Chains A and B, each alone.
Chain A
Amino acid sequence: MMIGLDRAALVKMIDHTELSAHSGEKKIANLCSEAKSFGFYAVCVNGAYASFARDLLAGSGVLVCVVAGFPLGAGTSSAKAFEAGEAVKNGADEVDMVVNVGALRDKKHDLVRGDIRAVVEASRPALVKVILETCYLTDEEIVAGCTLSVEAGAKFVKTSTGFGAFGAFPDHVRLMRRTVGPDIGVKASGGIKNFKDVWRLIQAGASRLGLSASVGIVEGLSLYKFAPAAWLEEEIPCHICPSRFANLDKQPKAVYAYYKKKCLECPHADAYNKFYE
């Protein structure tokens, strides 16, 4: 009994990630070494390590992905564009930029689109992914963010920085995939811990994964492959729903209230209402 996903396909969906502020050369070197051994698609690092990673990965086939305007996305377009351009000069094959979240919430769509376009232009020939930071957005805002990203020439939309209130959820990935269609990439990132999480996200439409627990997850694939019944039991919907993880400490009040309302109106509420505070 095997799931239709083999290791060779899985590793090519993974951006092996190390973005902590406190990570130095040793951690980045380890990251690159693991990426080479396992054949991950890319490593994802902060700008200061772009050329370091490029040199370590030279000739290996593993790409370098660098973040820009990260993690807040609230810098000026020209600053983000410069950062992206410099990263590409230093060896980045892909740029993960953070959208101007505040402007998106303010519905300043031209600003948002222009901001992304600036980075896309500055990054050529590298491909750009736009991080929406779904934990701060309503569904409507996520849809808008996706649409603007595609209009501006980005090739991927991405859920999270991993430093926000929460990370990737199947519901959001599903929404993003529905919005961008089959030809634009959807990258799930943030808080993905094991193969179970990965499988749900892939089924929801993710075509790339930002992981730091990549090695364990690839190992997990083997176990799941051979004994799917045990691993893939239906999850209680609330356990994988972003509404459940809404956090007044970490999210704008309006977003928190939005999720709580969704929870109340959820068709599963009756069956699982013991989880509602």
Chain B
Amino acid sequence: MAGTVSVKFYGLMRRRVERTGLEVPADGVTVLALLRLAEERAGRTFLDELLDREEGLLTGTIILVNGENVRLKDGLRTRVRAGDIVDLFSPAGGG
């Protein structure tokens, strides 16, 4: 969709947000700002599944921008562009 970032929810995130994905009109904002916009658009809060009290990433939170983990870029300050795909995973595990 033009001028939007695709935000995708997985795992327990889906229970919080009650959807698997969302198009958020945004271009050039930080991931943190995008998440807040997504909360607004979804009408649900979910940041506490991903972030701690000080708005840092929880151990185990995975946020991918076009497949790349934001921890290898600029963390929550990573800028996203329209057309980007952002995958959100709250901490999960398995074997």
A194-B54 in contact (CB<8A): no
In the assembled complex, how far is the CB of residue B71 from the closest CB belonging to chain A, in whole angstroms? 9
Interface string of A237-277 (1 = CB under 8 A from B): 01100001000000000000000000000000000001101
Annotate A159-196 by CB proximity to B: 1 below 8 A, 0 otherwise: 00010001100000000000000000000001101100
Give chain A's interface residue range (CB within 8 Å of chain B): 10 to 19
Closest to B28 in A: A277
Question: Can you name the residue of chain B whose Cβ is closest to the Cβ of A20?
Answer: B53
- Could you tell me how many residues of chain B have their Cβ less than 8 Å away from some Cβ of chain A? 8
- Establish whether residues B52 and A275, one from each chain, have CB atoms under 8 Å apart when the complex forms: no
**B 69-81 binary contact with A (CB < 8 Å = 1; else 0):** 0000011010100
The answer to whether A239 and B56 have CB atoms under 8 Å apart is: no
Is B59's beta carbon under 8 Å from chain A? yes
B9 to chain A, nearest CB (A): 24
User: Is A194 touching B59 in the complex (CB atoms < 8 A)?
Assistant: yes
Q: Which B residues touch A166, using CB under 8 A?
A: 54
Q: Is B54 a contact of A275 with CB atoms below 8 Å?
A: no
In Å, the complex CA distance between A244 and B56 comes to: 13
In Å, the complex CA distance between A110 and B74 comes to 42
A188: shortest Cβ distance to chain B, in Å?
A: 14
Chain B residues, Cβ within 8 Å of A239 = 75
Assess the A193–B56 pair: CB atoms within 8 A: yes
Residue in A191, A238, A275, A277 whose CB lies within 8 Å of B56: A191
**Inter-subunit contact A244/B59 (CB<8 Å):** no
Q: Are A275 and B59 in touch, CB under 8 angstroms?
A: no
| CB pair A193 B75 closer than 8 Å | no
Establish whether residues B59 and A191, one from each chain, have CB atoms under 8 Å apart when the complex forms.
Answer: no
Q: With a CB–CB cut-off of 8 A, which chain B residues contact A277?
A: 77, 79
Once bound together, how far apart are the Cα atoms of A162 and B52, in whole Å? 13
B55-89 interface bits toward A, Cβ cutoff 8 Å, 1 = contact, 0 = none: 01001000000000000001101010000000000
- Cα–Cα distance between A193 and B52 once the two chains are bound (Å): 10
With A162-B54, A238-B74 known, 4 other A-B pairs at CB within 8 A are A167-B54, A191-B54, A239-B75, A275-B77
